[in-house]
A and B are shown apart, each in its own frame.
Chain A
């Protein structure tokens, strides 16, 4: 029973300390805050009116408070809090006696004005400091032709970036709060009438149901609200480009913004969209299609090439044509390892290079590339650690993996190789097929916000295929993706667009 008692005592202590944590009244709160050097709390004594003013100097806009708030307090007209409210030229002032509200507002940059220090009766004047990074060029999803703007950390700036591109009242921003301690602002944005009601409700519900203490970034949110947390595949796209976000919204998707994160989360998405660069929409559809197919081929190559090498050299040497066999034998003859060990050494080397390159500052990173790519690569072949055929394959597959426009998906693709290599070492090509089957089964079961993840392929929907592996010309993309079940499925009238463009089926030379 002793431990039970102890537990109880502990609980008591816990509850006690918690009591001290939560301020009981305004005086208590102010005493707690006074410990911070950036908290300003003083008595203002004017001619006709005196009051207590408190704020965080690090959170408020210094200029505006000295220009728009404090001078008015000296005026003769002011005798009470209500008078301030009437005279100070700032909108959305709050008159409250709710302790909780006072606390939260103080922490986001409001000025607290009280008549007496102890009174709960207070006026809150907003004077929020908005300082942050300037809007800069996109770094991760670079674009050659399209817009260069990228999201920043401030959520209001991000919303304005989107709203500028969607100038209609139907564009809706819903604000939610996530995180018991951090109370982070999360905005759910969509175009009312185009986005599917069910999708919105599911997204809202998932975000609301989150039980978490703090939320830092959209990528954390995307993992938290994903359909299958155990899956290696990301099911929502996060993008730093407002134009891509906007395009998603126009299709009927939902974008989620998190305060403090320079990314927007586009939900729901399909697997194919991860391999579509936004630049594809800026070039003619022939080339866009060609690039998309190239990227898909690159993915297949990246996942399967080194595994196939291992399988063929360990088990199925019959598959190699006789002409190629000589080259393979000469390159392999000095290597003392089995094909799998050889492949793993090289793959891990490439992963090391990538990781070192990502963690180092850009200037050192370039040297890393040279050291890794040229020195280690050729040296390892000359030292007889790996064969040069495999070096070419691995380097090419690493290159191929980087063609994936989405960074997270690229990471997944790169790591998918390892199970394939191991499987190839066990059962050769059969092992690769079994491994492949497993991932296909996994993808078949995967959903994104309850919608099938590999959608235009299965379930087969021809309308959505028009903008997946191939990109049809804009004039043929008359409908929004069926995948999203949009409220308004059609983008425009095909016949009318033809008529307006003045394309008539004339005879030759007419």
Chain B
């Protein structure tokens, strides 16, 4: 069922990698990361945030090598890679794990967003109703193919960027001395913050699935790196802003510090900016959710080989709606997020280097056979 070559009319320009990666990483996590980052390393939180960002660059490099090395063997994506590396049965089992992970990420994103809306705007907004309407719209989008999804990434990038710039209104009320004393924490504290920041940066690994849809994929590498640098800079600046705007004790009481940021911004015709901010934040959710469902439905097609993607898509959305209604409270969301961050960490920092290593071994083996 795997189509070896993607038609050029369905491919997108490599520049879009930047938008895709940037918007995949900016999600609901951004609203709450400042407290989590400062949990262990207080005023030095920006340092581990920067470190995690830098580490994503390295992982991205590995991913690109992995994908480029795959060129002579077939489709450059994770699903077929799994099948080639480990045989059909084990490979498909791993594929199932991969799509289950992607599915959970999308689901938790959606549910966490509904949670925010419930807490701040509509306490009685039914998760069923919202996830249903939302799924219908995303279904309509994903039916348009990867190009339409990329378009949403690009547009959401345009919509979300001003929201982040608005935070700089707060510089006037900040206390730069909060940053001092600099770098006085133990390496262990940094390490803990480093781990805790990983879930925020997750999402860029989806390039493993859409890589064949990029025109001139060699050029995509630099754009991907741009994207990663951009999100890292966004995270670092927001982290510093959080440190200088709140005192450490106050920051610890904020579940969504960014929303508190917006709360203190006033426009002459618009009193409570956080409402607009939160509602606009749906645009951070739409693209990642759309790409997530696209990956999952495509995965179902690749694994089974006979289910068409459009039918798999409906199934994925039904599952999403079901799980959205099953998850009841913040604690459950946090629990899932907690486990997901472990899986994500394992996937990116252990499994991908392992895959790269395995690919290298296979190459050696093959060469030996030829000799």
A interface list, Cβ under 8 A from B: 315-316, 318-322, 324, 427-430, 433-434, 437-438, 440-442, 444-445, 452, 454, 457-460
From B147, B268, B275, contact of A319 by CB (8 A): B275
Given A434-B137, A440-B155, 15 extra CB contacts under 8 A? A315-B121, A318-B275, A319-B270, A319-B275, A320-B271, A429-B279, A430-B282, A433-B283, A434-B282, A437-B137, A437-B286, A438-B137, A441-B140, A441-B141, A457-B155
Q: With contacts defined as CB atoms under 8 Å apart, how many contacts are there between chain A and chain B in the complex?
A: 80
B196 to chain A, nearest CB (A): 30
Q: List 12 A-B contacts (CB under 8 A).
A: A315-B121, A318-B272, A319-B270, A321-B271, A430-B282, A433-B283, A434-B133, A438-B137, A441-B137, A445-B148, A458-B151, A459-B12
B182 within 8 A of A: no
A426 to chain B, nearest CB (A): 9
Binding site of A, secondary structure by majority: helix, strand, loop or mixed? helix
B269 within 8 A of A: yes
B11 to chain A, nearest CB (A): 11
Given contacts A428-B121, A433-B282, A438-B140, A460 and B154 within 8 Å (CB-CB): yes
Contact B122 A430 (CB under 8 A): yes
B276 within 8 A of A: yes
For B269, the chain A residues whose CB sits under 8 A away are 321, 324
Given contacts A321-B269, A324-B269, A434-B133, A444 and B275 within 8 Å (CB-CB): no
The A-contacting residues of B in range 10-24, CB under 8 angstroms, are: 12-13, 15
The A-contacting residues of B in range 119-157, CB under 8 angstroms, are: 121-122, 125, 133-134, 137, 140-141, 143-144, 147-148, 150-152, 154-155
Binding site of B, secondary structure by majority: helix, strand, loop or mixed? helix
Q: How far is the CA of A322 from the CA of B266 in the complex (A)?
A: 12
Q: How far is the CA of A324 from the CA of B267 in the complex (A)?
A: 13
Contact A442 B125 (CB under 8 A): no
For B117, the chain A residues whose CB sits under 8 A away are 430
Contact A444 B272 (CB under 8 A): no
A444 to chain B, nearest CB (A): 4
Closest residue to B134 on the A side, CB-wise?
Answer: A434
Contact B15 A319 (CB under 8 A): no
For A324, the chain B residues whose CB sits under 8 A away are 269
For A320, the chain B residues whose CB sits under 8 A away are 271
Q: How far is the CA of A433 from the CA of B231 in the complex (A)?
A: 24
For B150, the chain A residues whose CB sits under 8 A away are 458
Closest residue to A321 on the B side, CB-wise?
Answer: B271
A482 to chain B, nearest CB (A): 12
Closest residue to B286 on the A side, CB-wise?
Answer: A437
For B272, the chain A residues whose CB sits under 8 A away are 316, 318-319
For B280, the chain A residues whose CB sits under 8 A away are 433
Contact with A along B80-111 (1 / 0, CB 8 A): 00000000000000000000000000000000
For A441, the chain B residues whose CB sits under 8 A away are 137, 140-141, 144, 148, 152
Q: How far is the CA of A457 from the CA of B152 in the complex (A)?
A: 11
Q: How far is the CA of A316 from the CA of B278 in the complex (A)?
A: 13
Given contacts A434-B133, A437-B282, A445-B141, A428 and B122 within 8 Å (CB-CB): yes
Closest 8 CB pairs of A and B: A445-B144, A444-B151, A441-B141, A458-B151, A321-B271, A444-B148, A429-B279, A318-B272
Q: How far is the CA of A427 from the CA of B125 in the complex (A)?
A: 8
Contact B137 A430 (CB under 8 A): no
Contact A318 B122 (CB under 8 A): no
Q: How far is the CA of A460 from the CA of B270 in the complex (A)?
A: 32
For B276, the chain A residues whose CB sits under 8 A away are 319, 429
Closest residue to B282 on the A side, CB-wise?
Answer: A433
Q: How far is the CA of A54 from the CA of B143 in the complex (A)?
A: 60
B161 to chain A, nearest CB (A): 14
For B270, the chain A residues whose CB sits under 8 A away are 319, 321
Which residue of A320, A427, A437 has the most chain B CB atoms within 10 A of its CB atom?
Answer: A437
Which residue of A324, A434, A441 has the most chain B CB atoms within 10 A of its CB atom?
Answer: A441
For B13, the chain A residues whose CB sits under 8 A away are 459
Q: How far is the CA of A428 from the CA of B122 in the complex (A)?
A: 9
B144 to chain A, nearest CB (A): 4
Q: How far is the CA of A437 from the CA of B121 in the complex (A)?
A: 19
Closest residue to B270 on the A side, CB-wise?
Answer: A319
Contact with A along B306-317 (1 / 0, CB 8 A): 000000000000
Contact B144 A322 (CB under 8 A): no
For B155, the chain A residues whose CB sits under 8 A away are 440, 444, 457-458
For B143, the chain A residues whose CB sits under 8 A away are 445
Contact B271 A322 (CB under 8 A): yes
B285 to chain A, nearest CB (A): 10
Contact B271 A319 (CB under 8 A): yes
Contact B154 A458 (CB under 8 A): yes
Q: How far is the CA of A444 from the CA of B279 in the complex (A)?
A: 21
Closest residue to B276 on the A side, CB-wise?
Answer: A429
For A427, the chain B residues whose CB sits under 8 A away are 122, 125
Q: How far is the CA of A459 from the CA of B282 in the complex (A)?
A: 22
Q: How far is the CA of A434 from the CA of B280 in the complex (A)?
A: 10
For A315, the chain B residues whose CB sits under 8 A away are 121-122
Q: How far is the CA of A445 from the CA of B140 in the complex (A)?
A: 9
B98 to chain A, nearest CB (A): 26
Contact A442 B154 (CB under 8 A): no
A38 to chain B, nearest CB (A): 54
